[in-house]
Amino acid sequence: MSSRAFSPPSVAMARAPFNLFAAAFVLYVSGRSVSAINVSLPISAPGGSQPLSPTLLSFSIEQDRWPDWTGTNARNQFTHSALLNYAALTGQPPNIRVGANSEDHTFWSPTVTVEDASFPPPNSITPYPEATSITVGNAYYSLSRFLPSGTHMVWGVNLGADNVTNAVNMAKAIVGAFRTLAVQLSGVVLDRIEVGNEADLYKNNGLRPRNWTVQEYVADWENVAGAVAEAVGINDRNDRVTLQGAAFAGQGFTPRQIFDLGILDSPPGRAISVISQHQYSAAFCNGGDFPLVSFMSKAAVRGNLTVFAADIAATHAKGLIYILGETNSIACHGAPGVSNTAGAALWAIDYTLQAATLGIKQAFFHEGVGYKYNFVSRIRAPHGGIRGTPAYLPLS
Residues 141-159 have a mean pLDDT of 98
Of residues 15 and 193, more confidence is placed in 193
Distance of CA 382 to the CA centre of its chain: 26
Q: Is the pLDDT confidence value at 380 over 60?
A: no
pLDDT tens by residue, 176-230: 999 999 999 999 999 999 999 999 999 999 999 999 999 999 999 999 999 999 9
Residues 156-162 have a mean pLDDT of 98
Please report the pLDDT score of residue 5 as a whole number: 33
Strand bridging mode 96-99 / 152-157: parallel
Strand bridging mode 133-136 / 115-118: antiparallel
Q: Which helix (H) or strand (E) holds 20?
A: helix 17-22
Alpha-carbon gap, residue 201 to 220, rounded angstroms: 14
Dihedral over Cα of 168, 169, 170, 171: its sign: positive
Instruction: Determine what percent of the chain is predicted with pLDDT higher than 70.
Output: 86
Strand bridging mode 152-157 / 242-249: unpaired
- 98-101-107-111 Cα dihedral, nearest 10 degrees: -60
Please report the pLDDT score of residue 191 as a whole number: 98
- b/e 214-247 (16+ beta carbons within 10 angstroms → b): beebbebbbbbbbbbbebbebeebeeebbbbbbb
Please report the pLDDT score of residue 396 as a whole number: 61
Q: Which fold has domain 52-392?
A: TIM Barrel (3.20.20)
Residues 73-79 have a mean pLDDT of 94
Of residues 11 and 91, more confidence is placed in 91
Please report the pLDDT score of residue 344 as a whole number: 92
Query: So where are the chain's domains?
Result: 52-392
Q: Which amino acid is at 295?
A: F
